[in-house]
Amino acid sequence: MILHIATFRWRDTVTEEDVAELTTQLRNMAAGIPELRSYECGESLRLRPGGADFGVAAIVDDEAGLSAYLDSEAHASVYERLLGRMIADRAAAQLPVGPGAAL
C-alpha cells in the first residue's frame, strides 16, 4: 500500500470559511473515489512550531490507485474551484505502508 501525504501553506487571503469549505469538499470528494482505502484531511493542530497550515493523508493499494485518485475529475474539480487559489506552498510524499514496508 501507499500513503500519499500532501501539506499546504495558505496565501494570506485565505479565510476560515475557505478552509471549512475546502475540508467539506475534500471529504465529499474522497467518499466518491473507491481507490481510497483511507483519507484524512484538515487544519494542522500546530502541536509543534513551524510546518504547514493544512494536510491530506490518503492510503491507496498501489500506484494505479494513486493515479486514479490524483487524476480523477473530482480531485481536479476541487483543485480548480478552491485549492488552487489558496496555495502559497505545497509539499507531497508517497511512502510504503503495511506488511513488508521498510522502517
Number of domains in the chain: 1
Domain-located, residue 53: yes
Q: Which residue range(s) make up the domain with 75?
A: 2-96
What confidence score (pLDDT) does residue 50 get?
A: 86
pLDDT at res. 99: 75
Contact 82, 54 (CB under 8 A): no
Inside any domain, residue 101: no
pLDDT in tens, the chain (103 residues): 999 999 999 999 999 999 999 999 999 999 999 999 999 999 999 999 989 999 999 999 999 999 999 999 999 999 999 999 999 999 999 999 987 666 5
CATH label of the domain that carries residue 70:
3.30.70.100
Tell me, yes or no, whether 103 lies in a domain. no
Q: What is the DSSP letter of 51?
A: -
Is residue 18, in this structure, part of any structural domain at all? yes
Q: Is residue 22 part of a domain?
A: yes
**Domain for residue 32, yes or no?**
yes
